[in-house]
Structure 1
Amino acid sequence: MADTPSSTPNDPAGESPEHSGGEKFAAQGQHESSDPQSPSTGTGTGTEHGRHEMAGPAGYPQFEGPGAAQYGSEPVEPPPAVAPMPQAPPPRQPPAPHQPTYGPPGTGPAGPQPGMMPPPGMQPYPGATPPPPSIMPPPPGGPLPTYGYQAADNVPRSLDVGNALSYGWERFRANPLPWLGTTAVGVLIYLAFVLVVRITNPTSMLPVLLIFLAVMVGIWLLQAALVRGALYETDGYKPVFGSYFHFVNAGNVLLTALLAFVLTGIGFALCVLPGLIAGFLCMFALHYVVDQDLGPFAAIKASATLVVTNAGPVLLLALAVVVLTVVGTILCGLGLFVAAPVATIAVTFAYRTLTGGMVAPL
């Protein structure tokens, strides 16, 4: 009878092959730590941890054996750089509407400020798209001032006297009541003058001069009010009664009118012709003051330059205004209620036309 095989010399524990194979299988099924000092290897000598775990992609579990999860020790790799998406170009903005500017430097403010609104109650004419009127001086440090409102092409135009008078009549006919009311203020000034003279019955020169000066101040301010209304008309707005007096430079108005009056008086004292020439050269002085807030000397200089540059058509317009005024006076003075507004609008039309300015179409 054969003896049972004894343990092999290589097996120190004297275990059978079947028993040793089962132990090895069990050892393989254990979860082994990546730490060499972990006690899960049995003896802790490090000889049972002869296997090397395979580190796959960083941060993902590694499988070594039946279901043994392991995590790699590699650092987490940053994600690949992604090129920035090309940004679409900004949408094309429509061109800004033309803002009126002024002509040669040194003759007025920088023009109306964006967002400035006309006085309450004033409406534009049907179909007109007028710009905001220039009724306020620009802030200090603004652009250099220049001549009146500029149209889109900034080109002064030739003056047609017939067109100027026709424009004045059509604008007056479309908005007669405010013009008649403002002109009636002149009648009230005259009546006040007559009343004061009769009540005071001055016998010396000083009271007469004071009364005369008070009357002239009223007339000059009324002229500025009529110019303000005519500027609104050429802008394309229908002025109401209160908007005629919507100017903030009454001091410059009075000083300019006084200087022009003195120059004209000196001219008439020397000879009639120099007085007429002085009045002719100052024809647009109040327009530069009211529209551009120029000082007295600058306004008279700008007016003289404009008149001399366009002497022919301006002279024809001045003669037409004189004839219109005489006709209005002959009609018992009542014709002045029409002649004064039409003449003022016509002269303002000429001022804007000759300076390349804004003139709203009829």
Structure 2
Amino acid sequence: MTTPSDPQNPGSSDPDPGAGAESGGNQEPAGGTPPPSYPPPGSTPPPPSGYPPPGSYPPPGGAYPPPSGPPPQGPPPGYGTQQPGYGAQPGYPPPPPPGGGYGQPAGGPGGYPPPPGNYGAPGTYGGGEYGAPTADQFSIGEAFSYGWNRYKENALSWIVVILISLVVTGIIQTLGNVSSDNGRIFWISAIFGIIATIVGYIFQGAYARGALDETSGTKPDIGRFFNINFAAVIITAFLVGLGTVIGLILLIIPGIVFAFLAYWSLTFVVDRDMDPIEGIKASFSVISKNAGTLFLLALAVIGLNIVGALLCLIGLLVTLPVTMIATTYAYRFFTGGQIAPLASAAPMAPPPYPPNQQY
């Protein structure tokens, strides 16, 4: 016998009570509780052994609760090392700024230690101003050795220029003597004397030009010697000569001192295209600051040229160029100019001036 179908669920029918009894099952009537062997609805199976109980996991990063009590007085262990997700946390001191603090080396910018060695500030060399070595580093012997080595590599040009100066000066003096009847006509003799002096000034500038090129690493040819500002050279040499004569009149010593301090006036004018007054001031300034060493150099130059003059003037063809190059070597040394090494004869332009203001 079957029961009628449920009007709200026509596809279902009540099971036969006898069927359940025959199968040995204890089926609860509809609306009762499920068998106790099933887990409660909405629950999850228990986690495997060894895992922490639910709710014991740490909260997400950055959500830690503030510690109880006052904040710690010092940094926590390991503070200062960068960790993934590390950031400012409530109750802890802020992280140190870059360039120092915990976990970073002390020193220069960015926390890096200072560089090794005794490096100077930018624009300095050897602990002093760039290109301005101290006087005790200068060697007179090295200066003359440099002059000799440069001269012997270009001796022919120097000899030709010196011979030209002697020949031209001799011709002017001869014409002056003939025209003035051996000096009896004063004004003619004076005119030729002035011409000979001006020519001598020009050759002084030519020697300065040649010596400057030698220290720059260039072998000057004959034409290069005369690549100078003639007007500036003549005026500078005239002012130096006039000051020397006036000083000699004033008990001699002032004239010697003036000539010594103004010795590089032509060199400054030729090398740096200065006007005559600036060249004289620059020479006074540099030589006066290094007077002791340069005075010894001047004595050596005078002595060597005296020896050259005693050798029937032939020795001057060697001693004059060597001493000119040696004194120009000293000029470049004390003013921070370029001194080409002896091993290189390639042309090299001097550095931009002034590399070091000493005047």
Give the TM-score normalised by the residue count of structure 1.
0.56
Q: Point out which structure has higher relative CO (alpha carbons under 8 A, 6+ apart).
A: 1
CA distance in 2, matches of 1:199, 1:206: 13
Which of residues 210, 213, 220 is equivalent to 1:239? 220
Which of residues 150, 162, 167 is equivalent to 2:141? 162
* Structure 1 partner of 2:336: 356
CA distance in 1, matches of 2:224, 2:279: 23
CA distance in 1, matches of 2:283, 2:323: 17
CA distance in 2, matches of 1:207, 1:307: 39
* Structure 1 partner of 2:314: 334
- Please report how far the alpha carbon of residue 204 of structure 1 lies from its aligned counterpart in structure 2 after TM superposition: 3.9
- Please report how far the alpha carbon of residue 313 of structure 1 lies from its aligned counterpart in structure 2 after TM superposition: 1.0
CA distance in 2, matches of 1:226, 1:261: 17
CA distance in 1, matches of 2:173, 2:234: 22
- Contact 2:261 2:283 survives alignment (8 Å): yes
CA distance in 2, matches of 1:193, 1:253: 20
CA distance in 2, matches of 1:236, 1:266: 38
**How many aligned residue pairs are there?**
211
CA distance in 2, matches of 1:340, 1:268: 24
* Structure 1 partner of 2:92: none
CA distance in 2, matches of 1:166, 1:229: 17
CA distance in 1, matches of 2:257, 2:188: 31
SS in 1 for 2:274: coil
**Per-residue Cα deviation, 1:176-196 (whole angstroms, up to 9, x for no partner):** 100101111221133113311
- Please report how far the alpha carbon of residue 203 of structure 1 lies from its aligned counterpart in structure 2 after TM superposition: 1.6
* Structure 1 partner of 2:276: 296
SS in 1 for 2:132: coil
2:208 maps to a residue whose letter is V
Moved over 6 A (4+): none
- Contact 1:185 1:222 survives alignment (8 Å): no
SS in 2 for 1:345: helix
* Structure 2 partner of 1:195: 174
1:228 maps to a residue whose letter is R
CA distance in 1, matches of 2:188, 2:251: 28
CA distance in 1, matches of 2:130, 2:189: 48
CA distance in 2, matches of 1:352, 1:212: 34
* Structure 2 partner of 1:109: none
- Contact 1:161 1:317 survives alignment (8 Å): yes
The answer to whether structure 1 residue 286 and structure 2 residue 240 are counterparts is no
Which of residues 268, 274, 286 is equivalent to 2:248? 268
The answer to whether structure 1 residue 225 and structure 2 residue 206 are counterparts is yes
Q: After the TM superposition, which residues 11-50 of structure 1 pair with which residues of structure 2 at under 5 Å, given as runs?
A: none
Percent same amino acid at aligned positions? 37
- Contact 1:154 1:357 survives alignment (8 Å): no
The answer to whether structure 1 residue 171 and structure 2 residue 150 are counterparts is yes
2:191 maps to a residue whose letter is L
CA distance in 2, matches of 1:255, 1:194: 22
CA distance in 2, matches of 1:297, 1:205: 32
- Contact 1:328 1:334 survives alignment (8 Å): yes
> Which ranges in structure 1 are unaligned for 5 or more consecutive residues?
1-102, 104-152
- Please report how far the alpha carbon of residue 225 of structure 1 lies from its aligned counterpart in structure 2 after TM superposition: 0.7
- Contact 2:169 2:199 survives alignment (8 Å): no
RMSD after superposition: 1.7
Give the TM-score normalised by the residue count of structure 2.
0.57
